[in-house]
Structure 1
Amino acid sequence: ELKVDTDERMVMAYLFKHTPLQSTFPVNLTCLVPTEQPDVGRPERLDLHQVLWHFLNFRLQVVTQRLEHELTTLKKRIHILDGFAKVFDALDAIIKLIRRSDGKADAAETIMKRFELDAEQTDAILELKIYRLARLEILLIRNELTDKKKRARQIGELLRNEDRRWSLVRDELVEVRRTYGNPKTNPRRTLIGKVIEEVEFTADDFIIDEDAVVLVSRDGWIKRQKEVRDPSTTRLREGDDLLTAVVGSTRSTAVFFTNFGIAYSCRLVDVPATTGYGEPIQRLFKLKDGEHVVAAISLDPRVNNNISTTTRRPEPTTHAIAVTTDGYSLRFSFEPFVEPSTRSGRRYARPSQEAEVVGVQAVSGTETVIVATREARALLCKTREINFLSGPGKGVTLIKIKKGTDRVIGFAASRNDRDLLTVETNRGATQTISSAKYEIVGRGGKGRELLQRGQFTRVVPRPVKILSLDEN
């Protein structure tokens, strides 16, 4: 049963393509073509016109042989009937000859000499039943002889005239169609027709277009809900926290970036819908040991638009920035991730062997990158200073760190002075980093030391907010 606003043509096109309701297949018409030797056929690939030509000639051959066989049978019967006709006026004499004979062989020899008949005719006369000698039966035999001779003449004319035999072939085919092709008495289960223009459709055409929210937890649990008013009240497993929320149409794509530099993308509709804890993201993608999601971004045009690259604009207006634990950073395009990926995902970065990606954010290129390390150092630089890569790579140095002792713990792409990066110290205190407090410098330096004693333990996550699509 279809809904009121369903496109019937689209549904039929889907059924034609994905069910046996319609089958389109190529036909290899390789046939054995008759040769001069009746028992030997020559293999040849024919087109439809040639196949029909051979079929019609075969039908003509069948009709001709059938007529020839019928004429042979008629001639045999006429020959017998001619013998009957000769003796019907001398039945009394025939009976006397039979009664005076010494047996069937003697009677047959006498009758053949007397009436100039051959052995076949004579044998038929001797085998004739007595009741066939009645006047009415004799009349029937003579009428049969007349009819047989008439039919023999008709067949002879048909065999001498090929055009008339072709007419007979056509009449027989018309009769077959009339007998077996009547849709009322013999309805066909299938129809053979020419190729017509089919309705084009994609998988998106069968997805109900509605807004949805995808919630991702830090432990890698994922779920889709139609509406989320307060993310803090969503159901999570004990000890788990909400990492991010992705909004968009069910037809749009969500990209999940992991610490190994792999991006996994899918339609929002592919995320399991539930009000419970959700499902492990491993149900959708094949994550490796130790791999986890560090960011999720919606590619709905209402959330992130102008993501395509062109020859004149190799760096799109909206793109991504990623930072690794060894202080490297890169910018890249969202465009390769618009289409859903395989379970193995697509690579977006190539961090060093012992490094991981700490985060990914959507940027426009005008932001200020704020990066913090475990040894309480921070650096602020313009996003434009970070190279835009056309493919996955290691990136460029964002901040120099001491190998083995220090590592990047997080970053933020700040749009203004009030867009802060909040970090937590090993003493449980928090500290904010912003362009209003610290100077913006060039990338590649050691950064500013913010604590003389102590370390930064983590970046305090910002409260998860649900973006209103109506405002964009």
Structure 2
Amino acid sequence: MSSDPAGHIEDTKLAEALSERYLAYAMSTIMSRSLPDVRDGLKPVHRRLLYAMQQLRLDPTSGFKKCARVVGDVIGKFHPHGDVAVYDALVRLAQDFAVRFPLVEGQGNFGSVDGDGAAAMRYTEARLTAVAQALLDGIAEDAVDFRPTYDGEDAEPVVLPGAFPNLLANGAAGIAVGMATSIPPHNAGEICRAALHLIAHPQAETRDLIAFMPGPDFPTGGVLIEDDASLLSAYETGRGSFRMRARWAVEQGRFGTWVVIVTEIPYQVQKSRLIEQIAELMEQKKLPLLGDVRDESTTDIRLVLEPKTRGVEPEVLMETLFRATSLESRFPLNMNVLTGDRVPQVLGLRAVLRAWLDHRHEVLIRSQRHRLAAVERRLEILDGFLAVYLNLDEVIRIVRDEDEPKRELMRAFSLSEIQAEAVLNMRLRSLRRLEEMEIRKEHAALEKEKAGIAGLLGSDALRWKRIAKQIGEVEKSFGSGALGARRTEIAHPPAPVDLTQAFEVDREPVTVLLSREGWIRAARGHGLDMAAQKFKEGDAAYLQIECQSTDRICVLASGGRIFTIRVADLPRGRGFGQPVRTLVDLPQDEQVVVMFAAGDGRRLLVSTAGRGLMVKDSDMVAEKRTGKQVLTLRDGERAAACVPGEGSHVLMLGDNRRLLIFPADQVPEMVKGLGVALQKYKEAGTGVREARVFDLATGLVWQEGTKTRSAADLADWVGKRGDVGKTAPLWMTRRS
């Protein structure tokens, strides 16, 4: 074969070639772009930015340099990607509304909370902050590994020493191939106190740690309204979400008038887009209690919400806004990070803190070994100086007369090569008696330091004591004052607000109809003759529920997500209605599984084929178009049922005609999740034929008009949750 690769062709299967290349792309995205390192909380581009700025000597006490210079160094030496992406990363590190503890101090226009972009990099300037300096502190002391840059001409750090808990303090967000990360920012002082508790109590659990850091602390403030159980579950598993609301207050005017003033909005909500959203909803008459919205913001946020009438309660007005706009939003938690051995993994709060502390422990050992080697080198030189000070005349003679003075010095005074070199390089002015005293003093100090370092390296307890002291200094520096004060208020979920009167809807009985093609409408009255209802050609009736015009209905999609729709918003009349996808963000590949009226305080059993959980209907209400994920699905699964959950026992009947009855208290009540195994199916693809919760003592009426089956009649099918079950009786399979 010719050594010239030009024109060389190899036969390869397309599937293999695509698989190999896509895997390489996926790994590159995961490892080198999207996921932060658990130790320093940085992605490669951010780490390279900080290191390049340190190389440019842009410390907090120096002057600023043009961002174009910084970006040029980064893409030229470390990060061979586009300058726009690098500059965007630099800008974000400087935005105090995007990053809780900015790592870059910017000078110039770096954008605004309204969504305005930063000025071009040739106009803006930057330097490092004290927080970034803490992340870099010790990098020159062999505290971390370095690797060659992409062109092999330089070296870059694999990870920063990370004295500041950056991952939790500033959070992270990114989308890789097949995985994503979303970590909210937290208060640095609270993180340090939790870390100190974990050092003092290595067996501490997540419940103990969140007593010190009770929740996220967003740069834009706001109010966190999440219950304690959800917070604990999120931090234990590394997955969950946090419910955020804007901070508001009532401002009284003349003659009994009032307005609501919003001073803080949820994190990552653009103020200009929020005002546009409110204006659009007012135009669509979906905010009937709001009369006007004004933006009176300067450097601080001030949104003025004026009610249509002063008889409206402020709490009711704000509840309508929270339900319909981004004044209330959810921030997802997905602590998917690269561990110390470069493996993507979702970690809980305790594991993240443990990884940071272990990294600080390794950094301490490496930096102390580096310092010990330096002390020993200096002591060796000082020993050489002291050896020759008693024989200076002989030293001078050797230097003047010998052809090879170094070798002769080594022979005459038993010096090492390093010692002899240091003696030969010694200045004449150092031959003073005073200098000898200084050398002896330095020698004694270094011997003491050497003993201290040896003792530190030999004692695990002393090392953790030193780390605790360092963390205490970080807490003192960044956990107090204007920068360290908590901005996000931790509050309990508010009491439900009745909005029945808010929308001025006459209460009347209606029947909500959903067709197979997804068209939804409300028809007046109950007990309708479905055969008399008209649908589009090729369409037919699918689901119907009887409710009131003031109700809200919940729609469960096959993807496990619940959507809430106000009946008053549904079209009336003789038309075919409107597609349900125009009312909620229902994905095209999903279908509606069930509809039910919301808000009657009952429990519901939500299940896939074989797994399920109990959910309160109040926890299923989701006012946003995007809905709420209640049932987490695995690949190939779909939501199959949602039935009333009141009763003593659960009945599961599969398509394989296997029947299982088990106690309902074996199914946990959750807000959302994967659920637990309800019935085991040996055959792949087996679906649920019937799911039902009933009172076994009262008996089971399988279909209206049939006899009641007693507990004794059903005893053969009562078992444990997760069993396969037994073949169902003929009267059940024949009539189902």
Normalising by structure 2, we get a TM-score of 0.30
TM (norm. structure 1) is 0.46
Larger Rg: 1
Higher relative contact order by CA 8 Å / sep ≥ 6: 1 or 2?
Answer: 1
